Amino acid sequence: MSHTLGIRQAQKQKTRQALLDAALELLEGQSLSSLGLREVTRAVGVAPTAFYRHFRSIADLGVALVEEALGSLHPTIRTALSTTGDTEERIVRAVELIAGHVERHPAHVRFIARERYGGVRPVREAIGGQLARFAEEVAEALAEDPVSEGWSRDDLLMLAQLYVDQMIMTACGFLEAQEAGPEEQERSARLAIRRLRLIGVGRRHWLDDGHDDAGSGTPG
């Protein structure tokens, strides 16, 4: 691992990264299923056949892009979840964190939003897998919160998924607001905060009303 990889491998990874970058840029104006192999190689300035040295197909490249866009986000989320503070503070912090991420990696966010239900099955599944991992991490963090006392594992996961979906929708909102001026971004932020607030209120009062759900079926 610590061994500096040779000139050969280094150059290969460089072109591979160039392909990924070019693809991501081209994807700002279209979907993955319409992205052409030649289109990508042309943008990089490399022969079409060179593509096959790195990816089996465009779908394969798409999966790699998912890894790049979401894979590195796990530690960020973990640290964000472990920050202490007032409920309100944590909400604002989370929204700011999302806003920052969208501002720094807009193309990545757009790609994920676009391909989450996009036309390329393997990519869809890759994104779904990563989001499921996020949800589990959030659920884990929620479980350690004293507010979650008495919550079933199922309900915790439900709430975690709700938070993950909310995170994505907030990111999408910022993305749309980004090309509509800063005052729209501000509006998006305030909207996201209020949404999270409302979900938080629901969370704190979840066990107040009786939830005699006969279908939950998790007696353990």
Partner DNA sequence: ATTTCCAGAGAACAGTTGTTAACTGCATGG
Partner DNA sequence: CCATGCAGTTAACAACTGTTCTCTGGAAAT
**Using the rule CB under 7 A, is 9 a contact of DNA?**
yes
CB of 47 to a copy of itself, least distance (A): 24
Cβ-based nearer residue to a copy of itself, 15 or 161: 161
Cα separation of the two ends of the chain? 43
95, two tokens: 């929204």
* Nearest CA among 102, 99, 23 for reference residue 66: 23
Q: Are 212 and 118 in contact (CB under 8 A)?
A: no
| Residues 70-129 close enough to bind a copy of itself by CB under 8 A | 110, 113-114, 116-119
Instruction: Among 30, 57, 72, 83, indicate the residue that binds a copy of itself (CB under 8 A).
Output: 30
Q: Cα-flanking dihedrals φ and ψ of residue 51, to 5°?
A: -55, -40
- Residue count at the site for DNA (CB under 7 A)? 24
Distance between CA atoms of 67 and 220, rounded to whole angstroms? Answer: 35
The binding site for a copy of itself (CB under 8 A) comprises 27, 29-34, 110, 113-114, 116-119, 155, 158-159, 161-162, 165, 169, 172, 190-191, 194-195, 197-206, 208-209, 211, 213, 215-216
